[in-house]
């Protein structure tokens, strides 16, 4: 304790000069602690290591947290809820950070049994114990943890208790109550879903619960819900005729050819186009988009998720204990940590955890770290600090241009996914990475010297217009419609609700242009829909974070562009059913943008 107080006193002395701290945050310090696997945890400090895979990453592509850890800012006093397959809370590298509040939603006990290992690996990324001489460490190794095996019993009651609305957590004002909720799960709907409280009362309930806890819990400081974007960039799985099929693009005689465009959008799922969820895409050890990561305008930030831990690094984190369960089991494996090795003879850790399921807990750990730097900050202000300090990762990424033959037989090019853009408020944004990659040290530095929270959140009513504009087939002309927003707000996020008649939704690109002239893609062309709902988009909602910090007042313009006259297809595959063709016939009849609505979240 004396040594800890001495370190804290030294750390506080460093804070006397804000300029000195700013200089220090740009430096690199070795992560102390002595845990044997930490040197391979590239997401914490990337020195170009392999993470026990067959190739190395590129130094510097990490969460940038060494200054925060040097200062002892590591999540102390912040509890993170792991809503997942469960958590092995007795794991020797977790149990010291587990506090009261975990629940097995299947049997009511306080041990959220994890039969899969996914949730345990997630918990390890967030808050594995540091300095105990085993395994590695979490992003926030002094944070507290509670776990829920929600994925094993996905009822309404299970959702409510795991997301904060239980008898014990109703006020969420105790020091051990979660201020961060990690959701490393999701769905990949094959059709856009209606955002409709009448037909889906559960949607209204979840919105109300998340809004209340996000804004009003913890004596008004609120909490943050972190959500993984999904793992469906190139293909996805859905149900068809009672069986699961893999859905993939097909163009130019090539399977999986989608012209470099994402085949599934994070903006399709209602929990990803929900303002209350901070949606995260995944980057790899080279600082580029992970090969699987779903993307879209609903992505707020990007964080390390890695690849698969075989040819290139995944995450090094906790596994279920023992060599007979979890990801790491006895036997040969291309990941050098696996199989019962000298560093991990009991197979209690793994080097293959990946996905936006990893990007989310890395983000949750980052948020817990930032909150612990200044406990007085409310949750929206913490999100704001993350937005202000996010860095351009993969800075030369130019996005994706789509070349296609229009209805007149001319070859035209459409900028389907823009590269990095700077919006009118000075924030960078990319369809793949949101506002950028998390920089913990930069955000912690700002948190230390931030004394005022954001003004109160305001949410406008939906503003609607009846457009009834034709969408010409295979034409850059597209359909345009405008709505005027009267409120003078600073934008935090924008939601758009659409009604469009069109029989091949994957042909359509949907753009939104702000009053300041920023063009953003709400739904990229060639997204792999199997069909629409009621003939197209019906009350489908999309979220956009591209306009963060811009002014809401003025004219917002929606553009809908048809990019295909019938050369791009969707295939489904199941061993029993074989290959199934979808969207094989072009709709030469023009679609219709019937109506749309917009609402602003801002201050």
The answer, yes or no, to whether residue 309 has pLDDT greater than 80, is yes
Over the stretch 508-566, which tens digit does the pLDDT of each residue have? 999 999 999 999 999 999 998 877 777 789 999 999 999 999 999 999 999 999 999 87
The answer, yes or no, to whether residue 49 has pLDDT greater than 90, is yes
If pLDDT is split at 50, 70 and 90, which confidence band does 274 have? very high
Highest mean pLDDT among 22-26, 193-197, 490-494: 490-494
* 459, burial (CB in 10 Å: exposed 0-12, middle 13-18, buried 19+): middle
If pLDDT is split at 50, 70 and 90, which confidence band does 81 have? very high
Rounded mean pLDDT of 164-193? 82
Q: What is the pLDDT of residue 337?
A: 98
From CA 41, how far away is CA 19, in angstroms rounded? 30
Q: Which residues pair with 292 in a beta bridge?
A: none
Of all residues in the chain, what percent are helix, strand and coil, respectively (each to 5)? 20, 30, 50
Spatial CA neighbour of 409 closest among 473, 478, 479, 504: 473
The answer, yes or no, to whether residue 174 has pLDDT greater than 80, is no
The answer, yes or no, to whether residue 173 has pLDDT greater than 70, is yes
Residues 6+ apart with CB under 8 A from 219: 173
The answer, yes or no, to whether residue 1 has pLDDT greater than 60, is no
Query: 3-state class of 121 per DSSP?
Result: helix
How many C-beta atoms surround the C-beta of residue 313 within 10 A? 32
If pLDDT is split at 50, 70 and 90, which confidence band does 16 have? very low
Over the stretch 128-161, which tens digit does the pLDDT of each residue have? 999 999 999 999 999 999 999 999 999 999 999 9
The percentage of the chain sitting over the pLDDT mark of 90, rounded to a whole number, equals: 84
Q: What is the pLDDT of residue 167?
A: 61
The dihedral through the CA atoms of 158, 163, 165, 171 has a sign that is: positive
If pLDDT is split at 50, 70 and 90, which confidence band does 257 have? very high
Q: What is the pLDDT of residue 435?
A: 98
From CA 572, how far away is CA 245, in angstroms rounded? 6
The lowest-confidence range among 29-33, 82-86, 456-460 is 29-33
Rounded mean pLDDT of 583-587? 72
HSE-CB of 150 using CA atoms within 13 angstroms: 25
Q: What is the mean pLDDT of the chain?
A: 92
Rounded mean pLDDT of 384-398? 98
The answer, yes or no, to whether residue 196 has pLDDT greater than 50, is yes
Spatial CA neighbour of 368 closest among 300, 436, 279, 443: 443
Q: What is the pLDDT of residue 2?
A: 37
Top pLDDT among 169 and 120 is at 120
Q: What is the pLDDT of residue 11?
A: 47
From CA 288, how far away is CA 233, in angstroms rounded? 14
Rounded mean pLDDT of 288-317? 98
The answer, yes or no, to whether residue 26 has pLDDT greater than 70, is no
The lowest-confidence range among 166-175, 177-186, 241-250, 557-566 is 166-175
The answer, yes or no, to whether residue 108 has pLDDT greater than 90, is yes
The answer, yes or no, to whether residue 299 has pLDDT greater than 60, is yes
Q: What is the pLDDT of residue 582?
A: 82
Q: What is the pLDDT of residue 19?
A: 57
Q: What is the pLDDT of residue 190?
A: 84
Determine contact, residues 567/405, Cβ cutoff 8 Å: yes
Tokens standing for 294? 């779903």
Q: What is the pLDDT of residue 515?
A: 98
From CA 97, how far away is CA 104, in angstroms rounded? 18
Catalytic residues: 84, 118, 357
From CA 533, how far away is CA 421, in angstroms rounded? 32
From CA 270, how far away is CA 317, in angstroms rounded? 30
If pLDDT is split at 50, 70 and 90, which confidence band does 17 have? low
Q: What is the pLDDT of residue 168?
A: 55
Determine contact, residues 176/168, Cβ cutoff 8 Å: no
From CA 376, how far away is CA 450, in angstroms rounded? 9
If pLDDT is split at 50, 70 and 90, which confidence band does 589 have? confident
From CA 279, how far away is CA 286, in angstroms rounded? 21
Over the stretch 464-491, which tens digit does the pLDDT of each residue have? 999 999 999 999 999 999 999 999 999 9
Q: What is the pLDDT of residue 560?
A: 98
The lowest-confidence range among 163-172, 174-183, 329-338, 503-512 is 163-172
The interaxial angle of helices 379-389 and 201-220, nearest 10 deg, is: 90
From CA 413, how far away is CA 525, in angstroms rounded? 12
The percentage of the chain sitting over the pLDDT mark of 70, rounded to a whole number, equals: 94
* 12, burial (CB in 10 Å: exposed 0-12, middle 13-18, buried 19+): exposed
Rounded mean pLDDT of 237-256? 90
Spatial CA neighbour of 265 closest among 497, 532, 531, 543: 543
From CA 134, how far away is CA 36, in angstroms rounded? 6
Determine contact, residues 336/351, Cβ cutoff 8 Å: yes
SS3 assignment for 480-520:
EEEEEECCCCEEEEEEEEEEEECCCHHHEEEEEECCCCCEE
Q: What's the Cα-to-Cα distance from 490 to each of 299, 448, 600, rounded to whole Å? A: 19, 24, 9
From CA 430, how far away is CA 420, in angstroms rounded? 5
The lowest-confidence range among 245-254, 293-302, 457-466, 494-503 is 245-254
Rounded mean pLDDT of 420-446? 98
Q: What is the pLDDT of residue 159?
A: 96
Q: What is the pLDDT of residue 149?
A: 98
Determine contact, residues 111/89, Cβ cutoff 8 Å: yes
């Amino acid at each position: 304790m004396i040594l800890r107080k001495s370190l804290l006193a030294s750390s506080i002395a460093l804070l006397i000069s804000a300029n000195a701290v700013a200089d220090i945050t740009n430096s690199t310090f070795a992560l102390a602690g002595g845990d044997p696997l930490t040197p391979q945890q590239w997401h914490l400090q990337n020195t170009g290591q392999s993470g026990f895979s067959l190739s190395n990453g590129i130094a510097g592509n990490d969460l940038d947290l060494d200054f925060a850890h040097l200062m002892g800012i590591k999540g102390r006093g912040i509890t993170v809820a792991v809503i997942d397959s469960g958590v092995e809370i007795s794991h020797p590298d977790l149990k010291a950070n587990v506090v009261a509040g975990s629940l097995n939603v299947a049997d009511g006990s306080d041990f959220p049994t994890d039969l899969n290992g996914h949730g345990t690996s997630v918990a390890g990324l967030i808050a594995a114990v540091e300095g105990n001489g085993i395994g590695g460490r979490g992003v926030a190794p002094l944070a507290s943890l509670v776990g829920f095996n929600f994925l094993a019993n996905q009822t309404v009651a299970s959702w409510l208790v795991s997301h904060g609305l239980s008898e014990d957590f109703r006020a969420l004002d105790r020091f051990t109550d979660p201020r961060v909720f990690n959701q490393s799960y999701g769905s990949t709907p094959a059709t856009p879903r209606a955002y409709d409280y009448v037909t889906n009362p559960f949607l209204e309930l979840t919105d109300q619960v998340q809004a209340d806890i996000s804004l009003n819990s913890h004596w008004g400081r609120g909490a943050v819900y972190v959500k993984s974007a999904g793992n469906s960039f190139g293909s996805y799985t859905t149900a068809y005729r009672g069986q699961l099929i893999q859905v993939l693009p097909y163009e130019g005689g090539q399977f999986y050819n989608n012209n470099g465009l994402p085949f599934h959008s994070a903006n399709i799922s209602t929990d990803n186009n929900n303002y209350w969820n901070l949606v995260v895409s995944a980057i790899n050890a080279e600082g580029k988009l992970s090969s699987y990561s779903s993307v879209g305008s609903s992505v707020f930030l990007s964080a390390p998720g890695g690849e698969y831990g075989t040819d290139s690094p995944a995450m090094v984190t906790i596994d279920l204990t023992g060599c007979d369960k979890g990801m790491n089991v006895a036997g040969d494996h291309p990941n050098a940590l696996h199989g019962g090795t000298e560093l991990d003879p009991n197979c209690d850790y793994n080097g293959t955890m990946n996905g936006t399921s990893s990007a989310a807990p890395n983000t949750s750990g980052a948020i817990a770290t930032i909150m612990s730097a200044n406990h007085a900050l409310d949750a929206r202000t913490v999100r704001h600090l993350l937005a202000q300090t996010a860095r351009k990762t993969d800075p030369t990424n130019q996005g994706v241009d789509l070349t296609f033959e229009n209805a007149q037989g001319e070859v035209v090019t459409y900028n389907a996914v823009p590269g990095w853009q700077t919006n009118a408020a000075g924030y960078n944004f990319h369809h793949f990475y949101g506002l950028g990659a998390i920089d913990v040290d930069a955000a912690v530095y700002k948190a230390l010297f931030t004394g005022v929270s954001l003004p109160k959140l305001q949410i406008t009513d939906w503003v609607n217009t009846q457009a009834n504009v034709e969408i010409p087939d295979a034409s850059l002309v597209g359909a345009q419609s405008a709505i005027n927003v009267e409120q003078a707000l600073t934008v935090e996020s924008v939601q758009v609700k659409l009604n469009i008649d069109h029989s091949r939704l994957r042909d359509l690109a949907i753009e939104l242009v702000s009053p300041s002239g920023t063009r953003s893609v709400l739904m990229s062309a060639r997204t792999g829909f199997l069909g629409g709902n009621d003939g197209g988009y019906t009350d489908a909602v999309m979220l956009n974070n591209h306009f963060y910090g811009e002014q809401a007042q003025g004219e917002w313009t929606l553009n809908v562009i048809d990019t295909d006259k019938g050369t791009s297809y969707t295939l489904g595959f199941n061993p029993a059913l074989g290959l199934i063709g979808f969207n094989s016939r072009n709709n030469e009849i023009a679609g219709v943008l019937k109506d749309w609505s917009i609402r602003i979240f801002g201050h």
